[in-house]
Copies of this chain bind each other. A is one copy, B any other.
Amino acid sequence: MSIIRKTKSVRLILSAFNDNKDAISIVELINKFNKKMNKTTVYRVLERLEKSSILHSFVGKDGLKRYAKGGKNSNSKKILNSHPHFLCEDCGTSSCIPIDIIIPSIPNYTIKTSEHLLIGQCKNCLS
């Protein structure tokens, strides 16, 4: 009994992430696949893919939840090295930046996960 089944919906959504290395918002996916599957299915497939560490999610400054390839804390132990997401103010695209952000440990707080959002202009919009 595998936890995740390779259904048509799963394959379609995964293909979207293979075509596009950027983070994708749920809303974009719902629109992209509005003929192929129900919006509830999009939400639920993404949930499963996140639980399976195939995708990870974060909430952008616009309040929209986005997903991107890869599990949240790829190499476990050092939880506090996590990489940031970039959101372009001009074109709205967001991408994962392959840079580690190091967070010092904080007395009296236990940090389980962290999210980092960088906001500015991307290479395409800098011209």
Report A's interface with B, CB cutoff 8 A. 58-63, 65, 84, 86, 89, 97, 99, 101, 103-104, 106, 108-123, 126
Q: Is the CB of A118 within 8 A of B99?
A: no
Partner of A89, one of B86, B112, B118: B112
For A103, the chain B residues whose CB sits under 8 A away are 84, 99, 101, 116, 118
Instruction: Check A123–B108 contact: CB distance below 8 A.
Output: yes
What distance in Å separates the Cβ of A84 from its nearest Cβ neighbour in chain B? 7
Q: For A106, what are the chain B residues with a Cβ–Cβ distance below 8 Å?
A: 86, 97, 99, 118
Contacting pair B101 A112 (CB below 8 A): no
Chain B residues, Cβ within 8 Å of A61: 58-59, 115
Least CB separation from A113: chain B residue: B119
